[in-house]
Structure 1
Amino acid sequence: MFGGATAKGDKLSGSVMTMYSGDFGNVEVQGTMQFSINYVQRLREFHIFVAECRDLAAVDPKRGRSDPYVKSYLVPDKANLGKRKTSVKKKTLNPTFNEILRYRVRMEYLRTQTLILAVWHHDTFGRNSFLGEVDVDLSKWDFDHTQMNYLALKARTTPTLAPSNGRGEMRLAIRFLPQITHSEGVTKDGPNTGEIHIWVKDCKNLPLIRATIDPYVKCFVLPDTSRKSRQKTRVLRRTADPVFNHTMVYDGIRDADLTEACVELTVWDRDRLASNMLGGLRLSAGTGRSYGAEVEWMDSTPYEVALWERMMATPNEWVEDVLHLRMVNSAKTAFK
């Protein structure tokens, strides 16, 4: 399908701080929230049914009222891409919402997240006020439980967002060159083919699964899992913060392939007897399908999709990001 490949060169607990502006601590938190959550397999959607809140604090104590709404987001996924909101209910401490907030995410990804449901007072002319929140650790949640939950709202307990899910992070840059021409005036692999360049810069805070780890990065451009598709960085010894500065090049890529293919990058620890996966990420359109077939590996997170879309929107230019590593079921584990 593609041309050749060339090598160059603590689990969250309790409440966490949201990344939105607003006033915290100026209203004493009280009251409860009623909600249910469900994962709809046929849609691959996570649904949060926000039913109601009761006995909320009054931002306007003289009139005994607030203008509440509920905001949801997933952490450690950054809040900018993970935010959903209900409508605002005016002048009430007992709002009824009966609204569904939806996330199109894979269950594998959802299991790495904590759901935060925060209640806010909407101020048209000033800063919104925090009224309390509940959190649900989705790694431990029984998704067969779809009944209503009644939880007391909690105050904000920590000032900063927990940094990661314990798998570390990767700094990388990618670019797509739509046409690679040579002196003969034709493209290397026929008409209208180009190259994807993947520059793996470094990783930080990799999990220490033993006293010292010897990490390296392996790459495939799926759906091709052949030896020709596999590329690897060198192994760096005894470090959880490896600096690779290694660029991988995949040629024979057409524009149309960009919505069907997926760059899978996995980080491994080279042990004397075997290699063990430390984490990975997948860069793609995240549609769940490839060349007409439903596939498990088209499960990119919102941030992975965002980087891929930036690459497609700016051909010939490097785009860079730091992405959290997560556990992935590698599409190809035979060649370690």
Structure 2
Amino acid sequence: MVFLQFVLLCFSNYLQDEDLDSDDDRSSFSSYGSDIVAKRGYGTNNGNVSLMFSHQRTESLLSVYSEAGDFGTVTVCGAVEFALKYTAAGELIITVEQCQDLAYANPRKQRTDPYIKTYLHPDKSRNSKRKTSIKKRTINPVYGGETLKYNMKMDGLKGRTLKLSVWHNDFRGRNVFLGQVNIDLKTWDWWHESLTWYNLQPKYVLYRMLMSIGYLTSFPGNAKDISGEIHVWLKEARNLRRLKPKGVDSFVKCYMLPDTSKKSRQKTGVVKKNQEPVYNHAMVYDGFRAGEAREACCELTVWDHNTLSNQFLGGVRLSLGTGQSYGKTVDWMDSVNEEITLWEKMLASPGAWVEGEIPLRSSMTPRK
């Protein structure tokens, strides 16, 4: 029996996500959100919305170790501060400053020995891996500007996703996953080089927002005078991350970019103590002349309400994702996948609601 356990343990170690590396490999090479208010909008219970659509523990050791490299079950929490920079020499430099409020990998001993690991997906090989040093017995580790470096041409980087994850180092090799941040380098703003805080996310992020949008136009007789309205109906969010023992007190802010003025901001009410909040709140943005809806971007951000400082939970940007608005290059026209699809459907179906369930981004590039 002891021999069988030894064989299974060795096999499980083989399956790990390369976190049983030698000490040599452990050395490294070394919220945003925003607030857009129309001339009229719908309240939460407005009845005049004309467009409403209608084994158990005795299983084998392999089952215990089936989550590659993840030997503990902890609730992901906290944040990590780092910066990205691409140099003229063709080098991506990730500067890691610190983490804050990490989970205890060993709750009984109140102990976490954290380090940070990066990959440039889709490459998951050792050649793609970089690591920081390990900080002992702290949930607020300070790395003090440690750098992780990749030599790669910009064209190659634009097809990659930076996966930065935080782990607890265990002397037996049973490292515990503490959270991650994924950065799509295709849409990254390379002018943004300052240190930035990012909320850590679980491995499988299921946060989503259910909404409907509609585009209405009026026809006064003169085609040049056609005016349109964009209706945004926020229904609910799903599986928001728990930040407080009793749940999340969330609300949604909206801008219709490129308008970033304070008067253009709209917000839902706060839904308290609920990770599946139902907002049922609609907003209207008018004054869109022919073709202007193609130049706009609906930016929605979800926040946890706090007295002193609200915390960013996620966001979406709905647009055509062209990178340009009215002929100018803009960093916020960076919609992808379902975000683009929903906006295209809206433009193709004037006068009708189109519904979508859009995944929330865990981070958003600050817009200039």
How does the TM-score come out when normalised to structure 2? 0.47
1:103 CA drift (Å):
11
Distance 1:141 1:245 in 2: 31
Q: Does 1:171 align with 2:179?
A: no
Distance 2:282 2:302 in 1: 15
1:172 CA drift (Å):
0.2
The verdict on how the C-alpha distance between 1:105 and 1:322 changes in structure 2, with shifts beyond 3 A counting, is: farther
Q: CA RMSD in A?
A: 3.9
Length, aligned pairs only: 198
Aligned 8 A contact 1:5 1:228 in 2: no
Aligned 8 A contact 2:270 2:305 in 1: yes
Report what 2:297 is aligned to: 262
Distance 2:158 2:267 in 1: 29
Q: Does 1:203 align with 2:242?
A: no
The verdict on how the C-alpha distance between 1:221 and 1:164 changes in structure 2, with shifts beyond 3 A counting, is: farther
Distance 1:287 1:104 in 2: 19
| Matching of residues 11-160 of structure 1 within 5 Å | 110-111=161-162, 139=182
Distance 1:142 1:224 in 2: 26
Aligned 8 A contact 2:38 2:283 in 1: no
Aligned 8 A contact 2:303 2:311 in 1: yes
Aligned 8 A contact 1:164 1:324 in 2: no
Distance 1:104 1:176 in 2: 37
Deviations 1:255-299 (A, max 9, x none): 311221100010011112111110000000000111111111111
Report what 2:360 is aligned to: 325
How does the TM-score come out when normalised to structure 1? 0.51
Which 5+ residue runs of structure 1 have no aligned equivalent? Answer: 15-39, 42-72, 75-101, 114-136, 144-162
Please give the secondary structure, in 2, of the residue aligned with 1:297. Answer: coil
The verdict on how the C-alpha distance between 1:319 and 1:140 changes in structure 2, with shifts beyond 3 A counting, is: closer
Report what 1:316 is aligned to: 351
Matched to 2:214, the amino acid is: R
Q: Does 1:241 align with 2:276?
A: yes
Aligned 8 A contact 1:199 1:247 in 2: yes
1:7 CA drift (Å):
2.3
The verdict on how the C-alpha distance between 1:202 and 1:164 changes in structure 2, with shifts beyond 3 A counting, is: farther
Matched to 1:290, the amino acid is: S
The verdict on how the C-alpha distance between 1:5 and 1:285 changes in structure 2, with shifts beyond 3 A counting, is: farther
| Matching of residues 285-300 of structure 1 within 5 Å | 285-300=320-335
The verdict on how the C-alpha distance between 1:245 and 1:111 changes in structure 2, with shifts beyond 3 A counting, is: farther
Deviations 1:147-166 (A, max 9, x none): xxxxxxxxxxxxxxxx9843
Q: Structure 1 vs Structure 2: percent identity of aligned residues?
A: 41
Higher normalized helix content (fraction of residues): 2
